Structure 1
Amino acid sequence: MNATPASTLADDPVDLTRTNHLIGMMTDNIRDRLLVGAERLEFDAGHTLFTSGDQIAYTYFPLAPTMVSMLVDLNGDRRVEVATIGKEGAIGGVVSCGDLPAYTRCEVQVAGPALRVPMSLIEELKRESLFVRDLLCRYADALLAQVMQSVACNAFHSIEGRAARWLLTAQDRAGDELALTQETFAALLGVKRSSVNPIARALQEEGLIRYSRGIVTICNRDGLKKRACECYDRVRNHFDAVIGDEQAAWIEACEG
């Protein structure tokens, strides 16, 4: 893990405002204040940001193509993913006042950069700005919706539909190419590897994905959407309605 002072990147709008949705929605003044106390970190796949029970001292803002999984660990070395977070959001203490124990384990699935911001600074900005409070509350609403949809998805939808949904979600956050072994994919879905192998093979034979040496390439997004369960559209539509790019009226009201 390598760290760079984020303030040195304040003049690079492509890197910061376009690769993290929340930062991109902030005013110049708020964004500049956030960068003063932030660090830019480079994370490898498999790096754990925090585990269940850890005290949360930082909020992480992933920059493309970084993607993080929120995982619930169970007895017997079992785990299941309940949400994925990438350039659209943030991880850690978004609504709480910080220094509270984490419930899930957050693990980097796709390597890349992120901004790490002390919770003390996040709390300071929330106290001073209605916009920041509302922005993070809206994001928390969207994240909770993703978690709730995952509960329904895991209970009722086929492994194939869930797998296609996951690949689409990952593509939104990390792009067309993903470093993903079938063993890891199965663990994230909470199923046996033997259940994933035929699905991956079928998707590849249909030309929807290409799988080679642990790299998955999305080749046909429209075709993959037809194989995905309804949960992909439900989660994405709710995010757009709550905190999407077309929320200009809400932003202006908060800033006013």
Structure 2
Amino acid sequence: MANGHFSNDLLARLDEPTFAAIEPHLRIMQLETGYVLAETNARIERVYFPHGGIISCVVELIGGGAIESGMIGKDGQFGAGAALDHKVSLNFVIMQVAAHASVIDADKLRLAAQEIPNLRDMMMRYEQFFLAQVQQTAACNAAHSVSNRACKWLLRMQRLVGDDLNLTQEFLAQMMGVQRGGVNAIAQDLQKLEMITYSRGHIHILDLPRIQQRACECDAAINAHFEEIFGSKPMRSSAA
């Protein structure tokens, strides 16, 4: 029988007794673009397991700027690490590309994790991976060219949502750590090289192999971290 919750890779990785324990507390929500999952320093009330789309964790700066510190898709979750320890969100967290998600109240997840070591282990392993992603992003922003970083993010986004991406200029600027005015120049350069098409916030990927060649090593490093922590793909799927 189909189970929509298994559209999220982490839920699909849980063994049957562990998933059965939390399934009654899960509900599926549609998260539209612009939906705020958490404000900076706000208490975590819900934990989200996206089925697709892109969740963006953004560091807000005093001067009004912001930069993305991490991206979450169907291979992850937002909120579990903080929820397990009654903590708050360190970032402003927003839905950049709409999708459904399985959602559970933070208190329910915390109580279940206290009783089920396998659940707590899975959530904390993802937190370990996300920290590795944030650290890799910090190093990438300091050491690699804007063009290389742009291609790295395109690879990550393509893996999460496919070849067609509807993204605001503000998000693209936050993602690449550049001013909004620089986004068009980067996109136009990639378009001239016939790697993408770009118009009014819509990106279509034309040549994924060339984007892979142009990207820095950080996307591969992040993927390697995930595989080392989680191993092979989950056996179950939403059609299971």
TM-score by length of 1: 0.86
Counterparts of 1:40 and 1:229, CA distance in 2: 36
Q: Cα distance, 1:207 vs. partner?
A: 2.0
Please report the RMSD computed on the Cα atoms of aligned residues, expressed in angstroms. Answer: 1.8
Q: Cα distance, 1:95 vs. partner?
A: 5.7
> Match of 1:5?
none
> Match of 2:147?
160
> Match of 1:12?
2
Counterparts of 1:242 and 1:26, CA distance in 2: 14
Instruction: In structure 1, list runs of 5 or more residues that go unmatched.
Output: 1-10, 249-256
- 1:51 and 2:69 are equivalent in the alignment: no
Counterparts of 1:184 and 1:69, CA distance in 2: 9
Label 1:89 to 1:56 Cα distance change in 2 as closer, same or farther (>3 A): same
- 1:32 and 2:32 are equivalent in the alignment: no
Q: Cα distance, 1:31 vs. partner?
A: 1.9
TM-score by length of 2: 0.91
Q: Given residue 209 of structure 1, which amino acid in structure 2 is its aligned partner?
A: I
Q: 2:78 aligns with which of 91, 95, 106?
A: 91
- Deviating beyond 3 angstroms after TM superposition, the runs of 4 or more aligned structure 1 residues are none
Q: Cα distance, 1:175 vs. partner?
A: 1.5
The worse-fitting range, judged by mean Cα deviation, of 126-135 and 55-64 is 126-135
> Match of 1:236?
223
> Match of 1:133?
120
How many residues align? The count is 235
Q: Cα distance, 1:235 vs. partner?
A: 0.6
- 1:23 and 2:11 are equivalent in the alignment: yes
The worse-fitting range, judged by mean Cα deviation, of 81-90 and 173-182 is 173-182
- 1:187 and 2:177 are equivalent in the alignment: no
The worse-fitting range, judged by mean Cα deviation, of 100-109 and 80-89 is 100-109
Label 1:21 to 1:242 Cα distance change in 2 as closer, same or farther (>3 A): same
Instruction: In structure 2, list runs of 5 or more residues that go unmatched.
Output: 236-240
Counterparts of 1:55 and 1:26, CA distance in 2: 26
Q: Cα distance, 1:177 vs. partner?
A: 1.0
Counterparts of 1:101 and 1:132, CA distance in 2: 20
SS at match of 1:199: helix
Label 1:154 to 1:20 Cα distance change in 2 as closer, same or farther (>3 A): same
Counterparts of 2:225 and 2:177, CA distance in 1: 25
Summarize deviations over 1:172-231 as a string: whole Å, max 9, x none. 111211111334311332211232222211211222112233211122211111111111
Counterparts of 1:150 and 1:123, CA distance in 2: 29
Q: Cα distance, 1:98 vs. partner?
A: 4.5
Aligned partners of 1:85 and 1:91 also within 8 Å: yes
Q: 1:122 aligns with which of 105, 109, 120?
A: 109
Q: Cα distance, 1:33 vs. partner?
A: 2.7
Q: Given residue 2 of structure 2, which amino acid in structure 1 is its aligned partner?
A: D
Identity %: 32
Structure showing greater relative contact order (alpha-carbon pairs closer than 8 Å, 6 or more residues apart)? 2
Counterparts of 1:198 and 1:67, CA distance in 2: 24
Aligned partners of 2:166 and 2:201 also within 8 Å: yes
SS at match of 2:84: coil
Label 1:129 to 1:95 Cα distance change in 2 as closer, same or farther (>3 A): farther
SS at match of 1:54: coil
